[in-house]
Amino acid sequence: MIRAVTVDDIAEIRAMIRELAEYERAAEQARATEEQLRDVLFGDHPAAFALIAEDDETGQAVGYALWFPRFSTWTGTRGMHLEDLYVRPHARGGGHGKALLAALAAVCQQNGYERFEWWVLAWNEPTIDFYTSLGVELLNEWTVCRLSGEPLKELAAQAPAPAVLDQTPAQ
């Protein structure tokens, strides 16, 4: 069963985020708190949305998908960025990942989103194989860029004055 996340799922979502980070060999980077997740998913201006996969027999959460809208200047339309897709090891192969992706594809169709995109680690061959079995196009010619920590602060300090008109999204 796939359903929308509720505020009561926050602790379970956080636990699965930690499990995903451990699987991706980056546990120390998963610092999101329950309070932050509650705000981003259920605050006045949600920045992200999530679905839960439950085991049909036990009702236990066995996976989740967390996504947010994005925009393409090329198509002039919104799209979806899948931040996390995770199914607990004991539930893999049970169709939960595919069901989550199918539900997200339906959200895309319902909202007129032309693109549904996400990243996958290059070493994660079982997941890449799963995605390609669904017809996913791997965009190997693109490289992900990330600026954070001190380099982000250093570049921001070089901004001309006045820096930028208010570009802060609604909080």
84 in Cβ contact with 63 (< 8 Å):
no
What is the separation of C-alpha 11 from the centre of its chain, rounded to a whole number of angstroms? 17
Catalytic entry in 64, 86, 113, 131: 131
Unique residue bearing structure tokens 């890449």: 128
Whether residue 131 lies in the annotated active site = yes
Within its chain, how far is the Cα of 88 from the centroid? 16
- List the catalytic residues: 131
